[in-house]
Amino acid sequence: MSSLQKITWNPALPVAARLRQLVALALSSGRPVALWRLPGAVHARLCLSLKVDAAYAGLPPALEPTAPAGFAFFPFRDSDHNPPFFFPADLFFDLARSEEIQVSAAAAARLPELRQRFAALPAEAPLTWHVSPQPAPATASRPEYETLVAAGVGAIEAGTVRKVVSSRAVRRPLPPGFDALAAFEELQTRYPNAFVSLVSAPGAGTWLGATPEVLAEIDETNTFRTMALAGTQPLLPGMKPATAKWAHKDIEEHALVARYIVNCFKQLRLREYDEQGPRTVVAGQLLHLRTDFAVHLDQVPFPSLGTDMLRLLHPTPAVGGVPRQPALDFLRHHEAYDRAYYAGFLGPVNLPDAGVTRLFVNLRCLQLRPSEAILYAGTGLTIDSDPAREWQETELKLRTVGAILA
């Protein structure tokens, strides 16, 4: 990335210790830090911002090579409680290139001070993770969640919405000696094909997750990608994804998301896109239906397609519903808790290279608080939804990130 310069940074310190100390450097000075591991990748990456104020974003990021490099962290719904963030990459550490670290011009100017602070941190400095200023969210009991699902089905029957994705939060105590960095490692090992993240910022708190859902990507070949991911069943022992059978309810739930994406392309008057699927994919112990969409940006006259699609897509009907606004209104009135950054989106923009962006929907995630974790899960409702089964589906989805609390 051209705007960042490469420097060496304590090469004698083992990589894991250097990573921990960089996180400690951010947290001990009240700064935001994001760690992530891309699906299928071996090594994690870290982005640290020097100025907290610079991290508050207005609009979703521009997905253009000339836009700033950093890490986006957006809530499900914009609100004063849950500000959208874009953490500028002042320090960027790629564990695949552990001998170097990349710094922005602002960080380069402050290098002596940063190095001094780093050196002054005790070895194994305690990590004082940011805590959300919001109270812990309300958690729905089984009868309450089933009532919410029944209300969603009622809204579908009444014709207010065609699909809506209800969700809930649960509170779990942290196991003794819980270490968020070790949990991040464990998520990477358990879910090699997920986007694994650990984000901590003043005003947002600390979030850990392993999501299977791409929201918007532009890769090294200048190809824009997104996906429709909806429809869920457990991956049972001996089951082959390719021969999985799907209920009508799942097929419809998924088709509504795929159609929504096609309509976004239509709104932009783009006809040249590839569509592949639906096919069955594995996400942890679950199976989903997925359709992949791709647009070769070099072959279409839409230089701002990524930016425009991101603004149209979020929140997709995989986390909101269709039609979009009535579904979001339903959730605002009936869900009775604050999703905060669950079902928002997150990921690197123009990092490590200008023009490469990978944004994911923040699913299978938890919010970390001093002695507990708040876990989140939702289920797409259609006219055929059964409240007891939808409760069961949230229980299954909670197990993905819940595995690190065992």
Ligand X SMILES: C=C(O[C@H]1C=CC=C(C(=O)O)[C@@H]1O)C(=O)O
Q: Of the candidates 368, 188, 215, which has an alpha carbon nearest to the alpha carbon of residue 292?
A: 215
What minimum distance in Å lies between the beta carbon of 377 and ligand X?
Answer: 4
Distance CA 279, CA 371 (A): 40
214: which 2 tokens? 């791409």
> Residue 157: is it exposed, middle or buried by C-beta count within 10 angstroms (0-12/13-18/19+)?
exposed
Contacting range for ligand X; rule: CB under 6 A; set: 7-15, 142-150, 197-205, 228-236: 228-236
What minimum distance in Å lies between the beta carbon of 66 and ligand X?
Answer: 32
Contacting range for ligand X; rule: CB under 6 A; set: 88-96, 97-105, 172-180, 225-233: 225-233
- Distance from CA of residue 174 to its chain's centroid? 22
Nearest CB to ligand X, comparing residues 82 and 379: 379
Total residues at interface with ligand X (CB under 6 A): 17
| Backbone Cα Rg of the chain | 21
Nearest CB to ligand X, comparing residues 48 and 377: 377
Distance CA 21, CA 116 (A): 12
Distance CA 334, CA 316 (A): 19
Q: Are 74 and 349 in contact (CB under 8 A)?
A: no
Contacting range for ligand X; rule: CB under 6 A; set: 20-28, 67-75, 149-157, 376-384: 376-384
The answer to whether residue 380 forms part of the interface with ligand X (CB under 6 A) is yes
Considering only residues 37, 162, 163, 288, which one is a binding residue for ligand X as defined by CB under 6 A?
A: 288
Q: Of the candidates 39, 394, 404, 402, which has an alpha carbon nearest to the alpha carbon of residue 232?
A: 394
164: which 2 tokens? 């809506």
Distance CA 143, CA 140 (A): 8
Distance CA 330, CA 291 (A): 26
> Binding marks (x or -) toward ligand X, 147..186, rule CB under 6 A?
------------------x-x-------------------
Distance CA 32, CA 51 (A): 8
Nearest CB to ligand X, comparing residues 311 and 389: 389
Nearest CB to ligand X, comparing residues 48 and 366: 366
Nearest CB to ligand X, comparing residues 50 and 319: 319
Distance CA 290, CA 257 (A): 10
Q: Which amino acid is at 45?
A: R
Distance CA 199, CA 31 (A): 11
Nearest CB to ligand X, comparing residues 31 and 288: 288
> Binding marks (x or -) toward ligand X, 229..258, rule CB under 6 A?
xxxx--------------------------
Nearest CB to ligand X, comparing residues 32 and 387: 387
What minimum distance in Å lies between the beta carbon of 157 and ligand X?
Answer: 19
What minimum distance in Å lies between the beta carbon of 328 and ligand X?
Answer: 14
Residue where the block lists tokens 């082959």:
240
The answer to whether residue 102 forms part of the interface with ligand X (CB under 6 A) is no
311 CB-near residues (< 8 Å, 6+ apart): 59, 60
**H helix count then E strand count, the chain:** 9, 19
Considering only residues 18, 364, 367, 401, which one is a binding residue for ligand X as defined by CB under 6 A?
A: 364
What minimum distance in Å lies between the beta carbon of 351 and ligand X?
Answer: 25
- Contacting ligand X within 203-222 (CB under 6 A): 213
Distance CA 25, CA 111 (A): 13
Nearest CB to ligand X, comparing residues 27 and 398: 398
Nearest CB to ligand X, comparing residues 61 and 278: 278
Instruction: Pinpoint the alpha helices (H) of 158-247.
Output: 180-190
Considering only residues 280, 307, 357, 379, which one is a binding residue for ligand X as defined by CB under 6 A?
A: 379
Contacting range for ligand X; rule: CB under 6 A; set: 112-120, 127-135, 150-158, 224-232: 224-232
Nearest CB to ligand X, comparing residues 61 and 284: 284
Neighbours of 30 (CB within 10 A): 11
The answer to whether residue 378 forms part of the interface with ligand X (CB under 6 A) is yes
- Distance from CA of residue 12 to its chain's centroid? 33
Contacting range for ligand X; rule: CB under 6 A; set: 100-108, 171-179, 321-329, 377-385: 377-385
Residues that bind ligand X (CB under 6 A): 165, 167, 213, 229-232, 288, 318-319, 363-364, 377-380, 397
